[in-house]
Amino acid sequence: MAAAGGKPAVLLLRPVDAPFAAALRDRFRVLDLYAPGQALPALAFVAAAAAVPEPPRATVIWGGVRVDASFLDAAPSLRCVVSTAAGLDHIDLAECARRGVAVANSGEVYSTDVADYAVGLLLDVLRRVSASERYVRRGSWAAQGDYPLGSKSLVVSVLASSAWGTSAHGLQRGLKLSAASSTTTRENQRIQSLTNTSQMSMSLLLNLTCSLSHAH
């Protein structure tokens, strides 16, 4: 339902950058937990927002907000919860379903970026990039000589049951890293793959990724 000004209300329960905030305010009447001067605790703010005329029917949250029965009791008008996190472990999905509240998350939006950082960190550790930079900055190069080289021959074992883990495996193959991959969905399958993959014993690094959310 829209307010008198024509914009529907949205409950914003996470910090956002200026472009995101502007886009929201262009389309919605934003009730912002992090607005300047707002001092109420989160749950009290939610209850106060639910008490205004034309209360919000949707909320934008992040992983730090627990959506459970107490949260939904405080905002009975809510019909949609949008989480900007990939996981759903902070949301009581059964309780939301019981109350007819739709739930959305970021899905695979961040998967490629997370995979980029994961592989970047892998190379940093094995080639000792940041460690050697610290070695130079503290003057050890002049006093102790060259920093030991990192490894150039990598064997990477990948157990991937998440989208970003699968993306990371693709990047590793693109970088010509020797990689053993096992993509699984159930906990017992992951354990079995870990014990049965022969290349694990030769790996310098084990990349184990798993989803924080149950499949639905």
Picking from 65, 83, 104, the residue at the C-terminal end of a domain is 104
Say if residue 85 is in the same domain as residue 124: no
Say if residue 88 is in the same domain as residue 176: no
Q: In angstroms, rounded to a whole number, what is the distance separating the alpha carbons of residues 71 and 10? A: 15
Say if residue 89 is in the same domain as residue 145: no
In a domain, 128, yes or no: yes
CATH code where residue 85 lies: 3.40.50.720
* Domain range for 146: 111-209
Interval 163-180: pLDDT, tens: 555 555 555 555 555 544
In a domain, 216, yes or no: no
DSSP string, the chain: -B-TTSPBEEEE-S---HHHHHHHHHHSEEEETTSTT--S-HHHHHHHHHTSSS--SEEEE-TTS-BSHHHHHH-TT--EEEESSS--TTB-HHHHHHTT-EEE--TTTTHHHHHHHHHHHHHHHHHTHHHHHHHHHTTHHHHH-SPPP--SS-EEEEEE-SHHHHHHHHHHHHTT-EEEEEE--SHHHHHHHHHH-GGGGG-SEEEEE--SS---
Which is higher by pLDDT, 27 or 124? 27
In a domain, 52, yes or no: yes
Question: Looking at 7-11, 47-51, 84-88, which range is the least confident one?
Answer: 84-88
In a domain, 4, yes or no: no
pLDDT greater than 90 at residue 66 = yes
Average pLDDT value for residue range 34-51: 95
Interval 130-141: pLDDT, tens: 999 999 999 999
Closest of 193, 151, 72, 53 to residue 210, by C-alpha = 193
**Residues with Cβ within 8 Å of residue 107, at least 6 apart in sequence:** 86, 163
Say if residue 80 is in the same domain as residue 142: no
